[in-house]
Amino acid sequence: MTFRSLEQAGDLTGKRALVRVDFNVPMDEGRITDDTRLRAALPTIHFLSSKGAKVVLLAHFDRPKGKRVPEMSLKPVVQPLSRLLEQDVIWADDCIGPDAARAIDGMENGGVALLENLRFHAGEEKNDPTFADELAKLGDLYVDDAFSASHRAHASTEAIAQRLPAYPGLSMERELEALEAALGNPQRPVLGIVGGSKVSTKLDLLKNLVTKLDKLAIGGGMANTFLYAQGHDVGASYCEKDMAETAREIVRLAGQNNCKLFLPLDIVVAEKMAPGAPARTRGLGEVDEHERILDAGPETAARLKRAMDNSKTLIWNGPLGVFEMPPFDKATVEAAQYAAELCKAGKIVAVAGGGDTVAALHHANVASDFTFVSTAGGAFLEWMEGKALPGVEALKV
């Protein structure tokens, strides 16, 4: 992958650096409830500020659909960001035009400004060239530090990168390096774990991975569809029965590409999905008609750990069971903690991503022990599907 590094940007004193960040943070009545995305942007902001650049932050919030919606203003981000940076952040009431220009003109070298929600302008999501021109007028260089928005071909992620010298930010660079290490040019053997409820939502993902990985373990509700496709009774479990032939096609594709597929050997069932519900371990096909498969069984977890022992790289998306509801979190927690141990011992490179996956790793108290955990959601999934991400492609030289 060929990108300019910020280290190669030369003298940045007085240069206006337009930095695309992801500040689409969870809010409750105008207060940020989780500042993880603000913290993720700090290294790049600090780097540029320390070099004397004028740091101009571009971001979106929510879905105003090209209209100015007061409740979707980014203004509530200013004070929390100022506290994290330990310096005042200048606010501009628009992301283009006179308001934005005035705010930037008044900045000191090393200063930081936040511009209003990009999506207040319809041109942002339309990747409109005129809107991109207006944005580009405000800067001397462009820095993309929002991998989570890179699967969108928007003006602030794609078109602007054609108009200014473009660089990945430090968080973006770290994410791209981690993804390259996991799937682009990994140490082999590579083991994948894909969980979640639906085969239908991860069809492109599964079809791509079986052509890239040495081993793939399938868990969660989607494993029920594969078990059903192989003739096993799944009782009252969630199952996409209309996807059975697709599941069989993925099994055939895995065989053709020498990808060893791991489906559950045993399962944990209950008559209802509720915290603390009586759970039983069953063999395949031993499910009663009123029972639901809610987790992978101990034999399945043990085999997965052996597969990790014999792998150099692990890429994980999706839990193995209903981890939010003990006791159906056992397989996910056990596998996550084992992967973390191998990672800390330097025996495996472990990269994980996707909303449920991140939550599951936090639940197992191991998120900080993996090599890399992506919070990018849709962009991480599209990258795993083998799709080109417009925001990443635009940075290549």
Active site residues: 37, 198, 355, 378
CA distances from 66 to 100, 131, 252 (A): 18, 12, 46
Distance CA 146, CA 165 (A): 17
- For 117, residues 6+ apart whose C-beta sits below 8 A from its C-beta are 59, 60, 61, 62, 64, 72, 73, 74, 95
Distance CA 313, CA 349 (A): 5
Q: Residue 225, Cβ neighbours under 10 Å: how many?
A: 26
Distance CA 37, CA 374 (A): 11
Closest to 47 (Cα-Cα) out of 15, 2, 75: 15
First to last CA, the chain: 9
189 membership: H or E segment, kind and range: none
Distance CA 352, CA 365 (A): 14
HEC-encoded secondary structure of 367-394: HHHCCEEECCCHHHHHHHCCCCCHHHHC
Distance CA 194, CA 199 (A): 10
**Neighbour order of strands in the sheet with 372-374:** 260-262, 215-218, 190-194, 313-317, 349-353, 372-374
Cα 288 to its chain centre, rounded Å, is: 37
Provide the angle, in degrees to the nearest 10, between the axes of the packed helices 330-344 and 355-363: 80
Beta bridge partners of 281: 268
Do residues 33 and 64 lie in contact, with contact meaning Cβ atoms separated by under 8 Å? no
- For 45, residues 6+ apart whose C-beta sits below 8 A from its C-beta are 19, 55, 57, 85, 112
Task: Tell which phi-psi region holds residue 52, choosing left (phi > 0), alpha (psi between -120 and 50) or beta.
Answer: left
